[in-house]
Structure 1
Amino acid sequence: MTVRAAGLFMIVAAVATNLLFLGLGAVFDYPEVLRREPPRSSARSVPTRAP
Protein backbone atom coordinates (compact mmCIF):
# COMPACT_ATOMS: atom_id res chain seq x y z
CA MET A 1 0.00 0.00 0.00
CA THR A 2 1.44 3.33 -0.98
CA VAL A 3 1.50 6.39 1.18
CA ARG A 4 -1.06 8.07 -1.08
CA ALA A 5 -3.45 5.13 -0.82
CA ALA A 6 -3.07 5.04 2.97
CA GLY A 7 -3.81 8.76 3.19
CA LEU A 8 -6.85 8.41 0.95
CA PHE A 9 -8.10 5.52 3.08
CA MET A 10 -7.76 7.60 6.27
CA ILE A 11 -9.68 10.49 4.73
CA VAL A 12 -12.47 8.21 3.51
CA ALA A 13 -12.65 6.50 6.91
CA ALA A 14 -12.93 9.85 8.71
CA VAL A 15 -15.68 11.08 6.38
CA ALA A 16 -17.57 7.77 6.69
CA THR A 17 -17.36 7.92 10.49
CA ASN A 18 -18.77 11.44 10.52
CA LEU A 19 -21.59 10.47 8.18
CA LEU A 20 -22.49 7.51 10.37
CA PHE A 21 -22.47 9.74 13.45
CA LEU A 22 -24.77 12.22 11.71
CA GLY A 23 -27.11 9.39 10.71
CA LEU A 24 -27.26 8.01 14.24
CA GLY A 25 -27.79 11.53 15.58
CA ALA A 26 -30.79 11.95 13.31
CA VAL A 27 -32.27 8.58 14.28
CA PHE A 28 -31.85 9.03 18.04
CA ASP A 29 -32.60 12.80 18.10
CA TYR A 30 -29.15 13.72 19.39
CA PRO A 31 -28.46 15.99 21.37
CA GLU A 32 -32.09 16.45 22.46
CA VAL A 33 -32.07 12.94 23.92
CA LEU A 34 -29.57 14.18 26.51
CA ARG A 35 -32.04 16.76 27.79
CA ARG A 36 -35.02 14.43 28.25
CA GLU A 37 -34.21 13.06 31.67
CA PRO A 38 -31.86 14.36 34.36
CA PRO A 39 -28.73 12.21 34.71
CA ARG A 40 -29.29 11.53 38.41
CA SER A 41 -32.66 9.90 37.83
CA SER A 42 -31.13 7.74 35.09
CA ALA A 43 -28.28 6.71 37.35
CA ARG A 44 -30.73 5.69 40.10
CA SER A 45 -32.53 3.33 37.73
CA VAL A 46 -29.36 1.26 37.19
CA PRO A 47 -29.26 -1.59 39.69
CA THR A 48 -26.16 -1.75 41.85
CA ARG A 49 -24.33 -4.93 42.71
CA ALA A 50 -22.16 -5.62 45.69
CA PRO A 51 -18.87 -7.29 44.76
Structure 2
Amino acid sequence: MKQYSVASFQHELTVIPVCALVGSVLIYLIHVRVKNRISNHSLNLDTLSGT
Protein backbone atom coordinates (compact mmCIF):
# COMPACT_ATOMS: atom_id res chain seq x y z
CA MET A 1 0.00 0.00 0.00
CA LYS A 2 2.85 2.38 0.83
CA GLN A 3 4.53 1.56 -2.49
CA TYR A 4 1.32 2.43 -4.32
CA SER A 5 1.09 5.83 -2.63
CA VAL A 6 4.71 6.59 -3.55
CA ALA A 7 4.04 5.61 -7.17
CA SER A 8 0.94 7.79 -7.33
CA PHE A 9 2.89 10.65 -5.75
CA GLN A 10 5.62 10.35 -8.39
CA HIS A 11 2.91 10.16 -11.06
CA GLU A 12 1.42 13.45 -9.79
CA LEU A 13 4.88 15.01 -9.74
CA THR A 14 5.29 14.15 -13.43
CA VAL A 15 1.73 15.18 -14.35
CA ILE A 16 1.91 18.66 -12.78
CA PRO A 17 4.76 20.03 -14.98
CA VAL A 18 3.20 18.47 -18.08
CA CYS A 19 -0.13 20.17 -17.32
CA ALA A 20 1.67 23.45 -16.72
CA LEU A 21 3.53 23.11 -20.01
CA VAL A 22 0.37 22.31 -21.96
CA GLY A 23 -1.46 25.17 -20.27
CA SER A 24 1.27 27.66 -21.11
CA VAL A 25 1.32 26.49 -24.73
CA LEU A 26 -2.47 26.87 -24.96
CA ILE A 27 -2.27 30.37 -23.44
CA TYR A 28 0.46 31.27 -25.94
CA LEU A 29 -1.58 30.00 -28.89
CA ILE A 30 -4.68 31.88 -27.70
CA HIS A 31 -2.59 35.03 -27.22
CA VAL A 32 -1.16 34.78 -30.74
CA ARG A 33 -4.59 34.14 -32.22
CA VAL A 34 -6.13 37.12 -30.41
CA LYS A 35 -3.18 39.32 -31.42
CA ASN A 36 -3.56 38.29 -35.07
CA ARG A 37 -7.30 38.90 -34.91
CA ILE A 38 -6.77 42.39 -33.45
CA SER A 39 -4.12 43.25 -36.05
CA ASN A 40 -6.35 41.95 -38.86
CA HIS A 41 -9.26 43.97 -37.47
CA SER A 42 -7.15 47.16 -37.37
CA LEU A 43 -5.90 46.45 -40.90
CA ASN A 44 -9.49 46.11 -42.10
CA LEU A 45 -10.36 49.40 -40.41
CA ASP A 46 -7.35 51.06 -42.06
CA THR A 47 -8.36 49.82 -45.52
CA LEU A 48 -11.96 50.91 -44.94
CA SER A 49 -10.87 54.40 -43.86
CA GLY A 50 -8.27 54.54 -46.67
CA THR A 51 -10.77 53.92 -49.45
TM-score (norm 2): 0.54
Moved over 6 A (4+): none
Q: Deviations over 1:1-48 (max 9, x none)?
A: 611001100000000000000000010018x7xxxxxxxxxxxxxxxx
Instruction: Say which of 3, 21, 29 aligns to 1:19.
Output: 29
**3-state SS in 1 of match to 2:39:** coil
> RMSD value over aligned CA atoms?
2.4
Structure in which a larger fraction of residues adopt helix: 2
TM-score (norm 1): 0.54
Which sections of structure 1, spanning at least 5 residues, go unmatched?
33-51
Structure index of larger Rg: 2
Which sections of structure 2, spanning at least 5 residues, go unmatched?
1-10, 43-51
